[in-house]
């Protein structure tokens, strides 16, 4: 926990000259740790407030509440873990996502991620903090499949995505439960046909692409996602 705050909070405090109260205080070691915890929640709140001003351009495709917009192919973002949202924004910016031939939707999103207001890490972190603050609400399932078959297929996924598909940050694996189910099926197709996980430096994407050996048909994708729909993280 301390390490996480050390990485995320301190650099921002320094950039702002400690104005937001995000930097370390000149106190004893114990008070220092305590103040770090308090400062980190103040930081999270002020980052999220700054991120609110960056989110309106996202609403046309992801919805004002971040619940997704299928008509625009924009998946639900609310409820997704911050580490993963940040990584994907960076992947879209670097070209590790959205540049494969034929990936029109990825290209569209990549253009959004390259907006001038999102060029700094601090801006991306604020935007992600804002998305994390959006309440996670259930969205209607759209994918049907054989849940029992899906359950057995999902046994290969547990080590990275978790028993309840809640996502495991230590494995760099996102939450799947409760996210847009049509989008999960789409993404499985993209990993299978090389539209994701193609960049040499994209370790997470490559790892997931390699896992596609466990699923071979469109029916497999639907069945596993139908099972994921039954999970509550």
Cβ closer to ligand HEC: 25 or 69? Answer: 69
Q: What angle do CA 199, 204, 206 make, to 5 degrees?
A: 50
Choose which of 24, 172, 193, 199 interacts with ligand HEC (CB under 6 A).
172
- To ligand HEC, the closest distance from the beta carbon of 212 in angstroms equals 8
Q: Which of 9, 22, 123, 224 binds ligand HEC (CB under 6 A)?
A: 224
Contact with ligand HEC (CB under 6 A): which of 15, 105, 149, 151? 105
Nearer to ligand HEC, 39 or 110 (CB): 110
Please report how close the Cβ of residue 87 comes to ligand HEC at its closest, in angstroms. 5
The closest of 208, 180, 228 to 79, measured between CA atoms, is 180
Q: Which of residues 112-141 bind ligand HEC (CB under 6 A)?
A: 112, 127
Residue 205 in the binding site for ligand HEC (CB under 6 A): yes
Regarding 78 and contact with ligand HEC (CB under 6 A), the answer is no
d(CA 217, CA 223): 10
Report the residue from 9, 173, 177, 192 that binds ligand HEC according to the rule CB under 6 A.
173
Task: Please select the residue that binds ligand HEC; options are 214, 218, 219, 230, rule is CB under 6 A.
Answer: 214
Query: Residues interacting with ligand HEC, by CB under 6 A?
Result: 57-58, 60-62, 72-75, 77, 80, 85, 87-89, 105-106, 108-109, 112, 127, 153, 156-157, 159-161, 171-174, 176, 179, 184, 186-188, 204-205, 207-208, 211, 214-215, 224
């Amino acid at each position: 926990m301390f390490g996480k705050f050390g990485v995320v909070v301190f650099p921002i405090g320094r950039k702002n000259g400690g104005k937001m109260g995000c930097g370390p205080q000149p106190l004893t070691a114990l008070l220092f740790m305590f103040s770090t915890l308090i400062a980190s929640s103040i930081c999270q709140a002020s980052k999220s407030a700054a991120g609110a001003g960056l989110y309106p351009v996202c609403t046309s495709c992801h919805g004002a509440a971040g619940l997704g917009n299928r008509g625009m192919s924009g998946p639900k973002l609310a409820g997704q873990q911050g580490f993963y949202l940040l990584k994907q924004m960076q992947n879209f910016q670097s070209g590790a996502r959205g540049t494969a031939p034929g990936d029109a939707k990825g290209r569209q999103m990549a253009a959004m991620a390259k907006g001038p207001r999102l060029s700094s890490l601090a801006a991306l972190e604020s935007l992600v903090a804002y998305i994390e603050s959006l309440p996670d609400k259930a969205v209607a399932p759209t994918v049907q499949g054989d849940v029992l078959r899906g359950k057995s297929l999902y046994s290969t996924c547990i080590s990275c995505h978790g028993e309840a598909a809640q996502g495991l940050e230590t494995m760099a694996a996102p939450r799947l439960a409760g996210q847009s189910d049509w989008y999960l099926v789409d993404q499985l197709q993209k990993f299978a046909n090389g539209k994701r996980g193609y960049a040499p430096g994209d370790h997470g994407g490559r790892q997931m692409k390699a896992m596609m050996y466990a699923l071979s048909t469109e029916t497999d994708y639907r069945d596993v996602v139908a099972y994921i729909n039954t999970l509550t993280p």
